[in-house]
Amino acid sequence: MKKKILVPVLILIVSAILIFIFLPKKPSSSRLRAGQDYNVILVTIDTLRADRVGCYGYAPDVTPTIDRWAAQGVRFAECISQTPLTLPSHTTIMTGTLPIYHGVRDNGGFVVPDKLETLAESYKSAGFKTAAFVSAYVVDSKWGLNQGFDYYFDSFDLGRFEKISLGEVQRRAEDTINEALTWLGKNKDDRFFVWIHLYDPHTPYDPPEPYKSQLADRPYVGEIAYTDSQLARLEDYLQSSGLKDKLFLIVASDHGESLGQHGETTHGFFVYQETLHVPLIFITPFKQFSGKSYAGVVTLADLMPTALELSGIKIPAEVQGQSLIRYFGGQKKTDDRLAYAETYYPRFHYGWSELRSLQNNRYKLILAPVPELYDLTNDPKEEKNLVYAEKKVYEELTALAQEFEKKAGEKAIQADFSSVDEDTKERLAALGYLGSFVDPAKLKGQKLADPKDKINIFNEISKAREIGLSGNFDEAIAALNKILQEDQTISDGFFALGNVYFKARRFKEAAGAFTQALELKPDDSFAVINVANCYAALGQVEEAEKFILAQVKRGFDDPQFYHVLGSLYALRGNYDKALPYFEECLKKNPNSASAHNALAAICLNRDDLVCAEEHLEAARALNPTLLNLRYNLAQLREKQNRLEEAMELYQQEIADSPNHFKALFNLARLYRLQHRQEEELETLLLALKAEPSFPLTYFYLARIYLNQGQNLNEAIDLVKKGLELKPDKENLPLGYFLLADLYNRLGDYARSEEYARQGQELLKSR
């Protein structure tokens, strides 16, 4: 006998389309607040699957803090993420809208639309101070989640990474919690909304001690245990500061982790429960909401409207989630709502089909080339596909899914790929990040492979990439070539091969691989950039130029390409060639802070300070944290003899990019002009560590030792090292005069005179 679908189709359609229906009487948030102000802290723990948390059924005691919070609050047992990818999922959390609507479908390349009202913007409009503390570059401010935040702690320095994937640019929970506690200490007397994002459970799994040793066989769980210990620090502060009693605390995850289930090692590729079922807990000071739970399906899209209603703030009209306050009393009877999820990762990265799912309290439908239907009550691990056994259920859910997607996608926001600044795109391309800026609208109507049939290939490519990133280039190249011989339609397979060739400095072969990737994905700007980079690495800048212009001629005209060409020529000092390319980039993308910044650098080089000021102010208005912007502003202030401002700007640049050796060197020079020798020494040592191949750092370190009359032999070695690095003709005499002075101090007058003579000859020949 076939099982009946749990709720009549008509009612499901009504709930799916989010139309008001009669609901149980919900608690009154305004009555509970009784005119008092309550602060709000949202904690999102990246890549935390629900069944690895104690209060969600995990037996080892690794999450005592989260479990304690669940015992104090309302736990939603069946919260579903709308996508197993960090940026799109956090966009849903922060806007209460689905990926179908907000248009952010992947990490890197997508930017949260300005027209959406974020959770932070709602709180800011209501008079709250707002601050965010994030732990990974994938939610850096440049991707748009900073909208509405007065303070956004990101500051990720891509410059220090050479072999890295986007997801690995992160910081430990301890560092993020430290920053959050510092801010809270300064602002605890104000009304505030704070978002704390912790990334540790994400790959690579490398928990610190003692968790590394204690959970050596389960490093993912070790990362969770470590994260929980840092949440305990937050809890201790909230208790000791008295904030806990006037606080709404929300704990959630953006998505889970497969851990090998269904053949997937991490997340993003499939939409099974292991990556979609996430914790969601609301902790309030209200005793009647302590230790409650709700077993029905809810979604991450519900988080925003719930938080706003708790705070008595109007919910924006476009929000597609529903407030969950009606369930805070621990309602036993569950509403049979629908939860939507998707992943476009297989499509964007490999040319295979996207996956979408729709589930209620019992059944789950996965829309794929070979569709899947699971009875989650009797088959929670999704092992038995019931598409043919439960044909009626399948047909009804399929009809619901079509209606749901149609309604949810009405007035959907189109992704704005031009919002990503050119400097970021070039850096991501150089890092080998596998991603593109393909408009989803261009991908409709194609018959694509089912990701289920391709998981082994996906795993093999991922493994080969990791081998390449570890430096075993030949092994990675052999593995990728084997895969591509069997299936020559995988554009990102060729892209990965190009990256490995590039890291191995086999630039000609890298260019060939990137070209093949481009043939398969003709609108992949990253592939174009990397082919150009290969030519540039071979010293063939004109060939790079010819290649890019050929793409423009065939109709692929991207403002990014002109920025690349301008950069290639500017780096070689050919500003006459660089200038028109940067101007063309700006013409095609007037919001390009990077182009303004590059033009300002050329103006500075030509001592056109009015021009430089104009472009720098325009760049600052568009993107105040753009890399090198404050460095260029500092150079301008130096030329204007506004040295204190220049020093402050260099310090700001260094704070965001600690390895910016030019900023460090210039700051040291300003310390020298002010006779602040100890600060000069400290800054020069940092500059040397950041860039050991810059000769002048060695000279000026030696000069300090000479002035101090100490470490003279070490100073001589420093100067000789600087000379080996072949400084330009302008600075070469300095090295010889330093040696002359140093040997004179040591009483070696013959050598002193010889080096002085050579220095004089170099001066005459300049």
Computed over every residue of the chain, the mean pLDDT equals 89
The reply to whether 566 falls in a domain is: no
Q: Which domain CATH number covers 294? A: 3.40.720.10
Domain-embedded: residue 197: yes
Tell me the average pLDDT across 70-80: 97
Reported confidence tier of residue 162, pLDDT bands at 50, 70, 90: very low
Would you say 198 and 230 are in contact if contact means Cβ atoms under 8 Å apart?
yes
Structural domain span for residue 702: 692-766
Q: What is the pTM of this model?
A: 0.79
| pLDDT at residue 331, as a whole number | 83
pLDDT for residue 407 is more than 90? yes
Mean pLDDT over 616-628 rounds to 89
Would you say 153 and 133 are in contact if contact means Cβ atoms under 8 Å apart? yes
Percent share of the chain, pLDDT over 90: 74
3-state class (DSSP) for residue 357: strand
674-685 pLDDT, tens digit per residue, is: 999 999 999 999
CATH number (domain holding residue 715) = 1.25.40.10
Average pLDDT over residues 646-663: 91
335 bridge partner residues: none
Tell me whether residue 246 is in a domain. Answer: yes
**Residue-level pLDDT at 18:** 39
When computed from its CA atoms, the radius of gyration of the chain, rounded to whole angstroms, is 29
Residue 492: HSE in the Cβ half-sphere, 13 Å Cα cutoff: 22
383 forms beta bridges with: none
> How many structural domains compose the chain?
2
Q: For residue 422, is it within any domain?
A: no
Q: Which residue has the tokens 């002359």?
A: 740
The pLDDT of residue 248 is 97
Backbone angles phi, psi at 333, to 5 degrees: -75, 130
Tens digits of residue pLDDT in 253-294: 999 999 999 999 999 999 999 999 999 999 999 999 999 999
Binned at pLDDT 50, 70 and 90, residue 446 comes out as: low
* Last residue in a domain, options 279, 301, 329: 329
120 assigned to some structural domain: yes
pLDDT in tens, 167-184: 446 789 999 999 999 999
If one compares 123 and 438, the residue with the highest pLDDT of the two is: 123
Q: Decide if 711 is inside a domain.
A: yes
Complete DSSP assignment for 97-138? --HHHH---SSSS----TTSPPHHHHHHHTT-EEEEE--BGG
pLDDT of 67 over the 90 cut: yes
Domain end marker among 329, 357, 388: 329
708 within domain boundaries: yes
Neighbour order of strands in the sheet with 339-343: 339-343, 355-359, 363-367, 372-375
Residue 545 in domain: no
pLDDT at position 163, please? Answer: 39
- Pairing mode, if any, of strands 192-198 and 129-133? parallel
Q: In this model, does residue 426 exceed pLDDT 80?
A: no
Task: Indicate whether 190 pLDDT > 60.
Answer: yes
Task: Give 372-379 contacts, CB < 8 A, sequence gap 24+.
Answer: 373/397, 375/3, 376/273
